[in-house]
Amino acid sequence: MENRQSHMLVGGVTFLLILALFGFILWLARFSREDRDEFDIFFKQSVSGLTVGSAVSFSGVPVGQVRKIALMPESPEFIRVRIEVQPEVPVVEGTTATLQGVGFTGVTEIQLTGSIRGQQPITEPGPYGVPVIPASSSGFGQLLESAPQVLERVSILLARLNEVFDDKNRKSLAGVLTNLDKTTGIIADESEQLRSALREAQSTMKAATRAADSLAKAGATADSLMTEDGKPLIQDLRRAVVSAESTLKRLDSMAATAEPGINTLSTQTVPQVNQLISDLRDVTQQMGAIAAKLDEDPLGAVTGGRTLPDYQPEKQK
């Protein structure tokens, strides 16, 4: 009887201790949850390797863990992940969450980055009652998302390469390579002539360079001549043009003043002078005739001329 009572007492004490331990664990779990902030993250990519209890890091420092991973039937393209982090973690506007693989083990964790000093904390509740941290695709995630497209493009490229390198094109390519081999052989045989041609081209280029330098110097000399020596000449030429312009204006005024006299000279004086010259020409002709008469018969010219004797025929004997 006493042994049975002792066993019952030990069992009751043990049961009470187990209940006390379970209650302490529940209290500790509740206390630890109250000291942590919860956030939701909506990933639009595969979360392979992420499990409940996976680590949550902030710039490489562990700050929390994953509490829940759930599908979203109303939005099947998204995966909802709920995390809990320490209260002192600066989850502010600009913070983003990415999936990051840990080594080559296949384990994935959540990395929080992008917090900027001075920004407001993310506190506005989301559709599931806790604030939402924006998700961004990691480089590896983007690679996995684009892998099907890359494989499809690689397949298309291989198919086109097969079309390009068919039997006919391979023969054509072989002929091109053969001709190229012949061409390189010809070039190798004519290497000395090519060297001489290159030397001549080099000397020609040097001569052209010297000519260009001389032309540049001539241009500089002409520029200095125009800027230094040409300015005084241009100024003198400008003054000469101004003086010639004033002289032409004076000539125009003089011509305008002399125009009435010129008109009178051309209409009255010139005809009278012509008449006078004609009269003088007649007088000169008459004087010439008189002079000729004086030369032939001065006395007759003075007396009015000799009378010719009457002609009497000789008497016949």
pLDDT at 148: 67
Is the pLDDT score of 84 beyond 70? Answer: yes
| Predicted confidence (pLDDT) per residue in 23-79, tens digit | 878 776 655 555 789 999 999 888 888 999 999 999 889 999 999 999 998 888 999
Which tokens go with 218?
Answer: 């001539």
Is the alpha carbon torsion for 272, 274, 278, 280 positive or negative? Answer: positive
pLDDT at 173: 77
* The model's pTM: 0.40
pLDDT at 92: 92
Which helix (H) or strand (E) is 190 found in, with range? none
DSSP track, 48-101: TT--TT-EEEETTEEEEEEEEEEE-TTSTT-EEEEEEE-TTS--BTT-EEEEEE
Average pLDDT (97-118) is 85
Residue 227 binned pLDDT confidence (cut-offs 50, 70, 90): low
Q: How far is CA 211 from the centre of its chain?
A: 33
